Structure 1
Amino acid sequence: MNSIDLIKKLSDTEGISGFEDKVLEIIKDEMKDYYNIEKDSMNNLYINNIVPEERKKPVIMLEAHSDEVGFMVQSIEANGLLKFIPIGGWSSQQVQAHKVKVQNSDGKYINGIISSVPPHFLKNDGKTELKDMFIDIGAFSYEEVKEIYKIEIGAPVIPNVICEYNETSKLFLGKAFDDRIGCAIITEVMKDIKNENLDVDVVGVISSQEEVGLRGAIVSSQKALPNVAIVLEGPPADDTFRNKYTSQGGIGKGVQIRHIDPTMIANPKLVKFIKDIAKKYSIKYQETVRESGGTNAGKIHLENLGIPTIVLGVPVRYAHSHHNFVSLNDYQETVKLVKAIVKELNENIIKNF
């Protein structure tokens, strides 16, 4: 599968936190002719995992998370509306009137709309909080929801979006690029380096439940126990509301290299090494100092008595909303950088981190 088709397929696939199975099946199918694949009880996926006693080279972990933000049915109202809770971080202003799909007990998806009040009936500022919203599937009673649509409490709810690719702009418009874009990078890189004679061993890790507290990465990093970790992310772009001097996550400006966020300070020597590699291979990059947010790197870098860790990102416009933009050019620059990093790393360089 080529890059465009892979990204579109991963974007379209349903997989909120805790329900990532379909995403993993796509990656497993892509990797089955290349590596051994393992999955644990947390729904973490390991590509080419090497147990500690069999290691002869330093291990580099490429990590991304499979889950997307979504919702879950909390209760069913007498009138057939569905009360829901957010899974992951949502802003109430981005949610109302959007289409969603609710998975029923047969595994089928029922289309619905997140309810909104017509402007004719709005008072004051017209704002509605998430806790006061409902999902409308076109049912009219509790019994209809249960008996006809077969929707139950705890049902996952996914944004109903089909990914599109624009050949002219080389932009994708879809959902869940945080972090399906990272999943695609790992899939492509692991294929491309399969027959390379490297000085390191590379393990691909697709972690679960990042959006609800970095949970899968706690387990996956303890199992992989890498010497260096590269976290591939879809961080929020900022070029629509900041100028060219203050923007640090611009679409089309290349790989984003993260220095810091509230969960981790990147290893400065590793940052310098990666910037030098980007310059050597003429790879476009941008740097960011984040005041908010966090990634699985926040948990990973604390394992195994400390793991040198970096976050490399493909900026995503309107992350944590139904519709996102992401650039194929930024994706390709990131793939090039990750491949160059693993080719250049060796035991002596890693010891200096």
Structure 2
Amino acid sequence: MSKELLANLSDAFGVSGYEKEVAEVAKNYLKSDALFHMDKIGNLYIKSKHTSDKKEKRPLKVLFDAHQDEVGFVIQAIRPNGMLDFLKVGGWVVSNVPAHTVIIKTHTGRKIKGVIASTPPHFMTETERKQALSFDKLVIDVGTSSKEETESLGIEIGDPVVPDVRFEMLNDNLCLGKAFDCRIGCACLLETFKDFYSNEKRNREIEIEAILTTQEEIGERGSTVAAQNTDADIAIIFEGCPADDTFTEAYKIQTALGKGPMLRHHDVSMITHPGFQRLAIDTATEFDLPIQRSVRSGGGTNGASYSLSKKAIPCIVIGIPVRYAHTHYCYSDYRDLLVAKELSLRILEKLNQEVFDKL
């Protein structure tokens, strides 16, 4: 698994609706192996160059999905003093937002650093200090003192904004960066796709279509479109799933770092296909691969779009644990990513039309 690939994906600018940098990383990584098509919502469809349209028997078509977008912000207004009002894009907790730096991308592609600021405590009354913080009390400061000065930087209403964080490996396994939800899923998708087609002994009874989707963080919009465009029979959703090992009682931890990928049974968006889920669990057991299983009262994935498509595509979610998802800084364990890839490849070895029919 390429740590450079994960770094490039994590560092790419890709708030919902503005994912093109992420797609370019993917295309550059697979340029020798794949054909690409992008639709008007920005979904990147990936097909191997090593497949042939002339086959006696239609192969079972396996869909890989991972979403490209990350949570971020969007510029709403420029104040007379040069400060920027902004709105959140995706799920943020307001207390995690202030006092961090961000990157604003202008329509020309220029990237401008800013600081998310709130009223300093020195200028707050005792009552104000006790009040809950809200987004309308925050601004982005780009170091200017007037609206004209801010506009001279090229900043406009509607400009997208992402956290200002660079990827790091803190040791052999601990990754730190932004947007691991779902760039770590994108990395696993791309590596699994590449490894599958580079294996001359691969399962010839299946073909893979990979789709890097957009706008998941604001309601699975890209996958809703993709579900109408794919003729896949079955789907694996790669995700960066919120870890619960820093605040949950030990007996209830279901998504811990370093314990393997998470197979999700249930969330508010989807009930995972029981037959496909059992195949994944049994495969992990057979090959002694560590996994975690979860049942969630919240959250959701692109699996919802495919499972509710015309074909009711059976889906599983292979989630790589991410601490502090939807904040500036995420932790993930590199070993979980490796196991997720291995599990995916082992599942692909088993899939064929007969197995599919029995799910």
Query: Which TM-score bucket, shorter chain as reference?
Result: over 0.9
Q: Could you tell me which residue of structure 2 aligns to residue 6 of structure 1?
A: 5
Post-superposition offset of 1:300: 1.2
Question: In the alignment, does 2:168 pair up with 1:181?
Answer: no
Q: Distance in 2 between matches of 1:111 and 1:173?
A: 20
Post-superposition offset of 1:51: 11
Which residue type is aligned with residue 128 of structure 1?
A: L
Q: Distance in 1 between matches of 2:354 and 2:269?
A: 28
Q: Distance in 2 between matches of 1:338 and 1:239?
A: 24
Which residue type is aligned with residue 213 of structure 1?
A: G
| SS of 1:158 mapped into structure 2 | strand
Q: Distance in 2 between matches of 1:145 and 1:220?
A: 38
Alpha-carbon displacement from aligned partner over 1:217-248 (angstroms, at most 9, x marks no partner): 01112212211111000111000001221011
Of 324, 328, 336, which residue of structure 2 is paired with 1:330? 336
User: How many residue pairs align between the two structures?
Assistant: 350
Q: Could you tell me which residue of structure 2 aligns to residue 165 of structure 1?
A: 169
Post-superposition offset of 1:35: 1.4
Q: Could you tell me which residue of structure 2 aligns to residue 119 of structure 1?
A: 121
Q: Could you tell me which residue of structure 1 aligns to residue 257 of structure 2?
A: 251
Q: Could you tell me which residue of structure 1 aligns to residue 19 of structure 2?
A: 20
Q: Could you tell me which residue of structure 2 aligns to residue 85 of structure 1?
A: 87
The 10-residue stretch of structure 1 (333-342 or 126-135) with the greater mean CA deviation from structure 2? 126-135
Q: Distance in 1 between matches of 2:209 and 2:136?
A: 41
Question: In the alignment, does 2:190 pair up with 1:152?
Answer: no
Of 96, 107, 111, which residue of structure 2 is paired with 1:105? 107
Q: Distance in 2 between matches of 1:172 and 1:117?
A: 33
Q: Distance in 1 between matches of 2:102 and 2:346?
A: 40
| SS of 1:101 mapped into structure 2 | strand
> Judging changes above 3 Å, is the alpha-carbon distance between structure 1 residues 229 and 240 closer, same or farther for their aligned structure 2 residues?
same
Instruction: Output aligned runs, 1:190-339, within 5 Å.
Output: 190-196=193-199, 197-198=202-203, 199-339=205-345
The 10-residue stretch of structure 1 (122-131 or 11-20) with the greater mean CA deviation from structure 2? 122-131
Segments of structure 2 that go 5 or more residues without pairing to the other structure are: none
Which residue type is aligned with residue 33 of structure 1?
A: S
Post-superposition offset of 1:352: 1.4
Q: Distance in 2 between matches of 1:331 and 1:258?
A: 16
Q: Distance in 2 between matches of 1:222 and 1:276?
A: 31
Q: Distance in 2 between matches of 1:267 and 1:187?
A: 24
Of 61, 68, 73, which residue of structure 2 is paired with 1:59? 61
Q: Distance in 2 between matches of 1:249 and 1:119?
A: 37
Q: Distance in 2 between matches of 1:217 and 1:14?
A: 20
Which residue type is aligned with residue 132 of structure 2?
A: K
Q: Distance in 1 between matches of 2:136 and 2:305?
A: 30
> Judging changes above 3 Å, is the alpha-carbon distance between structure 1 residues 103 and 325 closer, same or farther for their aligned structure 2 residues?
same
Give yes or no for contact 1:225–1:303 (8 Å, CA) kept in 2: no
Post-superposition offset of 1:130: 1.1
| SS of 1:342 mapped into structure 2 | helix
Give yes or no for contact 2:118–2:137 (8 Å, CA) kept in 1: no
Q: Distance in 1 between matches of 2:265 and 2:147?
A: 51
Q: Distance in 1 between matches of 2:106 and 2:46?
A: 31
Q: Could you tell me the TM-score, scaled by structure 1's length?
A: 0.96
Post-superposition offset of 1:103: 1.2
Which residue type is aligned with residue 342 of structure 2?
A: K
Alpha-carbon displacement from aligned partner over 1:92-148 (angstroms, at most 9, x marks no partner): 01101110011123211111101122233343325320122110001111111112x
Question: In the alignment, does 2:133 pair up with 1:128?
Answer: yes
Post-superposition offset of 1:305: 2.7
Which residue type is aligned with residue 129 of structure 1?
A: S
Q: Distance in 1 between matches of 2:63 and 2:228?
A: 11
Question: In the alignment, does 2:101 pair up with 1:95?
Answer: no
> Judging changes above 3 Å, is the alpha-carbon distance between structure 1 residues 98 and 298 closer, same or farther for their aligned structure 2 residues?
same
Alpha-carbon displacement from aligned partner over 1:17-45 (angstroms, at most 9, x marks no partner): 11000000010011110111111111101
The 10-residue stretch of structure 1 (110-119 or 125-134) with the greater mean CA deviation from structure 2? 125-134
Q: Distance in 1 between matches of 2:120 and 2:224?
A: 44
Segments of structure 1 that go 5 or more residues without pairing to the other structure are: none
Post-superposition offset of 1:53: 10
Post-superposition offset of 1:324: 0.5
Give yes or no for contact 1:262–1:293 (8 Å, CA) kept in 2: yes
